[in-house]
């Protein structure tokens, strides 16, 4: 590639407007333009850039973000047949910090992106925004937000219930279970249970639990409330309203999470992925893998996926001395997903005392016997899992559990 055959357009992306700086191959600034972040304004960018083109010169565009604010622009430029490169923000940040006098403004940020574009052009990945993978990532983000909000609500519910029912944790196994939520909504404080008998409470619990709660549970709850003593507080009506409001909100979050899971499952199925065939991978984990990895074909080999996830070791050396160290780079979200999956693979089932995946458990014990620490052994399994996940995603194949007899763990 001849660098003098292009001009380089670095774009600093923002929510409402973008700033573009144009450089030639000698890092000379040719021009700068700011335009709104909306499709109707994108032609003005190309019109401005075309003013610097000659017969044998073509533009190259560099964007730091092709999945968020810069997504629409990247798609527009690709549709127009232009070369669009993804410039990792860490590269432009390193470029910015390499100068003696550090500055930070839109024009300079765009110029730093263009500088990286000139130096790293052959090695920068092409911007390939895919609607399918982008939508999965958006759904995963939506689900994570719902789960986080639900967890916060659950913690708040714990706090409110502790004022009204000191022994509330003994009522139900889960404070936000279906039966528990029905009970808190109907009886947000002990005063609402006044006049209730074991039989009437039993009837309510049978309906709320789809006939899984019995007379024993009704007796147990009434007994615990009586043992706690009478609790009366000011503004009790408002306190009751808060609990009932939390219950309604938790129910809504649960319903939305189910709907998101259903949508995710349909998208994963349309891709032909069979990640859920591996023990420890459900729809949530499978969608998280796809959201972070994206199109698996952008990785020519599993080694590159391992480096991207920060699982492959890093070679560090100087003066003829060299060591292999654990990587602290890469996609840390993807690293965490692989780590959690490893824990699932070597998990020991409480009832049967057998490992969930005997193959990986045996490999884990082998690495420990070789003198590796538990953390090092886990990373070894993570590296093997990268190969498996890579193959399953690329070939759209199912996971086949090796035929090894399960042995109980002492």
Answer whether 172's CB lies under 8 Å from 185's CB: no
Answer whether 311's CB lies under 8 Å from 336's CB: no
User: Which pLDDT score, from 0 to 100, does residue 90 have?
Assistant: 87
Answer whether 220's CB lies under 8 Å from 117's CB: no
pLDDT single digits (tens) 108-140: 999 999 999 999 999 898 887 778 888 999 999
Give alpha helix (H) positions in 187-328.
198-208, 215-228, 236-271, 283-293, 302-308
**CA 379, chain centre distance (Å):** 20
pLDDT single digits (tens) 18-76: 999 999 999 999 999 999 999 999 999 999 999 999 888 999 999 998 778 899 999 99
Q: Tell whether the model's pLDDT for residue 355 goes beyond 90.
A: no
Q: Tell whether the model's pLDDT for residue 409 goes beyond 60.
A: no
Written as six digits, the tokens of 361 are 């458990």
The total of other beta-carbon atoms located within 10 Å of residue 318's CB is 7
Q: What is the mean pLDDT of the chain?
A: 90
User: Which pLDDT score, from 0 to 100, does residue 410 have?
Assistant: 52
Mean pLDDT, range 76-92, rounded to an integer: 92
Q: 109 to each of 45, 89, 240, how far by Cα in Å?
A: 17, 10, 53
Which element (helix H / strand E) includes 33?
strand 29-36
pLDDT single digits (tens) 166-185: 999 999 999 999 999 999 99
Distance from C-alpha of 188 to C-alpha of 236, rounded to nearest angstrom: 10
Eight-state DSSP code of residue 319: T
User: Which pLDDT score, from 0 to 100, does residue 339 have?
Assistant: 95
Eight-state DSSP code of residue 355: B
Residues 6 or more apart whose Cβ sits within 8 Å of residue 371: none
Mean pLDDT, range 186-200, rounded to an integer: 91
Q: Identify the band that residue 235 occupies on the pLDDT scale cut at 50, 70 and 90.
A: confident
pLDDT single digits (tens) 318-338: 777 767 667 777 889 999 999
User: Which pLDDT score, from 0 to 100, does residue 407 have?
Assistant: 54
Domains defined for the chain, CATH in brackets: 3-129 (3.30.420.40), 135-266 (1.10.287.4070), 277-316+326-395 (no CATH)
pLDDT single digits (tens) 259-289: 999 999 999 999 999 999 998 899 999 999 9
Distance from C-alpha of 90 to C-alpha of 68, rounded to nearest angstrom: 17
């Amino acid at each position: 590639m001849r660098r003098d055959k292009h001009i380089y357009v670095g774009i600093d992306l923002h929510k409402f407007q973008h700033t573009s700086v144009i450089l030639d191959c000698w890092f000379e600034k040719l021009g700068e333009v700011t335009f709104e972040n909306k499709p109707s304004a994108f032609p003005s960018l190309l019109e401005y850039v075309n003013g610097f083109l000659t017969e044998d010169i073509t533009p190259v565009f560099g964007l730091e973000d092709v999945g968020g604010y810069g997504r629409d622009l990247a798609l527009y430029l690709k549709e127009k047949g232009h070369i669009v490169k993804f410039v990792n923000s860490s590269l432009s940040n390193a470029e910015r910090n390499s100068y003696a006098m550090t500055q930070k403004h839109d024009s300079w940020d765009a110029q730093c992106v263009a500088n990286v574009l000139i130096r790293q052009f052959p090695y920068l990945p092409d911007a390939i925004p895919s609607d399918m993978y982008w939508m999965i990532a958006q759904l995963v983000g939506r689900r994570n937000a719902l789960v986080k909000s639900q967890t916060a609500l659950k913690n708040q519910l714990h706090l409110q219930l502790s004022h009204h029912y000191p022994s509330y944790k003994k009522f139900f196994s889960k404070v936000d279970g279906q039966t528990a939520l029905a009970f808190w909504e109907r009886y947000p404080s002990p005063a609402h249970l006044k006049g209730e008998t074991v039989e009437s409470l039993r009837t309510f619990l049978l309906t709320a639990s789809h006939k899984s709660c019995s007379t024993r549970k009704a007796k147990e709850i009434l007994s615990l409330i009586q043992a706690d003593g009478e609790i009366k507080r000011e503004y009790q009506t408002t306190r009751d309203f808060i609990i009932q409001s939390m219950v309604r909100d938790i129910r809504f979050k649960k319903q939305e999470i189910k709907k998101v899971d259903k949508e995710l499952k349909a998208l994963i199925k349309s891709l032909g992925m069979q990640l859920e065939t591996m023990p420890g991978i459900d729809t949530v984990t499978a969608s998280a893998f796809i959201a972070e990895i994206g199109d698996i074909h952008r990785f020519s080999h599993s080694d590159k996926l391992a480096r991207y996830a920060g699982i492959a070791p890093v070679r560090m050396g100087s003066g003829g001395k060299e060591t292999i160290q654990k990587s602290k780079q890469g996609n840390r979200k993807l690293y965490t997903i692989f780590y959690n999956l490893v824990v699932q693979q070597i998990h020991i089932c409480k009832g049967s005392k057998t490992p969930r995946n005997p193959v990986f458990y045996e490999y884990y014990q082998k690495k420990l016997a070789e003198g590796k620490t538990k953390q090092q052994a886990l990373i070894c399994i993570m590296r093997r899992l990268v190969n498996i996940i890579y193959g399953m995603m690329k070939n759209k194949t199912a996971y086949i559990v090796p035929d090894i007899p399960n042995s109980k763990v002492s």
